[in-house]
């Protein structure tokens, strides 16, 4: 199995923090956000390669970050602005091609912090045969659910609907930007894009895929944080600082 960490965005809502540093490299709980994700990925024994895809603005920063990280390859997608970005699915396709990946693939957004076991997620996915899977969390509140990709499932947890940011959610099961694409489904990423489907929101591929192939929803047991703005960044930083025995902060600031 291979892992892809998506770090190609420009995080305009976090400017000026992200003018010169990728959101995924911002420190939370005393270390870069992406380090927390890499730790979780490293715990899955069958993952033998990790690919981080970013853009030209931040590629050198990620290459420096990866110097002492065996098995991690950084890919520059060649974009330099928010306007010419490839989008999350575009970056997945770029990485699949650049790394010539023909394997099962774990895809994780680089701003997607969580504390559940990716090994358990992988075991859940494997128990369903030839399939793909998405990690979901019941956010409980339909108003909050309208901000996420929302999944509806059958009794056996097979995904029967996936809608990005619905105004009237059919459920409160939110996709958490962590996916497993079975090897048999990996070539369908190119087909999805070739048909002219949107390349940006990562959940859009699953919304398309579940109508064609089996996709199952794994209900994650634990914490999940989606870091989109400064308030969410501060909350994540303080949550992880508490866990590390570090003092909390009233305002997020880069430590120089």
Joined tokens for residue 51 = 């690919």
Peptide bond into 218 cis (omega under 30): no
Which DSSP letter does residue 4 get? E
Q: Which residues of 121-131 are buried (b: 16+ CB within 10 A; e: fewer)?
A: bbebbeebeeb
Domain edges within the chain? 2-129+178-199+223-243
- Residue 173 has phi, psi (to 5 degrees) of -85, 110
Joined tokens for residue 135 = 């990690």
C-beta neighbour count of 113 within 10 angstroms: 23
Q: Decide if 3 contacts 121 (C-beta within 8 A).
A: no
Distance between CA atoms of 215 and 128, rounded to whole angstroms? Answer: 9
Is-above-0.75 flag for pTM?
yes
Distance between CA atoms of 103 and 3, rounded to whole angstroms? Answer: 10
Q: Decide if 227 contacts 33 (C-beta within 8 A).
A: yes
Peptide bond into 16 cis (omega under 30): yes
Per-residue pLDDT of the chain (256 residues; tens, 9 = 90+): 999 999 998 888 888 888 889 999 999 998 999 999 999 999 999 999 999 999 999 999 999 999 999 999 999 999 988 888 999 999 999 999 999 999 999 999 999 899 999 999 999 999 999 999 999 999 888 888 888 889 999 999 999 999 988 888 888 999 999 999 999 999 999 999 999 999 988 999 999 999 999 999 999 998 898 888 899 899 999 999 998 889 999 999 887 5
Distance between CA atoms of 100 and 153, rounded to whole angstroms? Answer: 33
The 3-state DSSP composition of the chain as helix, strand, coil percent (nearest 5) reads: 30, 25, 45
Domain 2-129+178-199+223-243 has what CATH class?
A: alpha beta
Q: Give the position of tokens 């990946």.
A: 101
Name which of 8, 23, 80 is nearest 237 in CA terms: 23
Distance between CA atoms of 191 and 56, rounded to whole angstroms? Answer: 26
Handedness of CA 211, 129, 93, 151 (dihedral sign): positive
């Amino acid at each position: 199995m291979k892992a892809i960490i998506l770090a190609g965005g420009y995080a305009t809502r976090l400017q000026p923090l992200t003018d010169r540093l990728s959101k995924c490299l911002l420190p939370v709980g005393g270390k870069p956000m992406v380090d927390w994700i890499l730790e979780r990925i490293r715990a899955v024994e069958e993952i033998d390669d990790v690919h981080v895809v970013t853009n030209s603005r931040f590629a050198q920063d990620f290459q420096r970050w990866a110097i002492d990280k065996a098995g991690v390859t950084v890919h520059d997608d060649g974009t330099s602005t928010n306007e010419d970005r490839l989008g999350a699915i575009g970056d997945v396709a770029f990485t699949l091609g650049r790394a010539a990946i023909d394997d099962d693939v774990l895809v994780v957004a680089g701003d997607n912090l969580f504390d559940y076991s990716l090994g358990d997620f992988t075991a859940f996915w494997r128990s369903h045969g030839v399939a793909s899977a998405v990690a979901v969390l019941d956010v409980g509140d339909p108003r909050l659910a309208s901000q996420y990709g929302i999944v509806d499932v059958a009794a056996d947890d097979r995904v029967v609907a996936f809608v990005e940011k619905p105004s009237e959610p059919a459920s409160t099961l939110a996709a958490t930007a962590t996916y497993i694409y079975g090897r048999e489904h990996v070539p369908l990423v190119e087909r999805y894009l070739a048909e002219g489907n949107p390349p940006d929101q990562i959940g859009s591929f699953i919304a398309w895929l579940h109508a064609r192939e089996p996709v199952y929803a794994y209900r994650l047991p634990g914490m999940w944080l989606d870091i989109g703005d400064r308030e969410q960044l501060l909350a994540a930083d303080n949550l992880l600082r508490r866990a590390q025995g570090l003092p909390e902060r009233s305002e997020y600031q880069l430590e120089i």
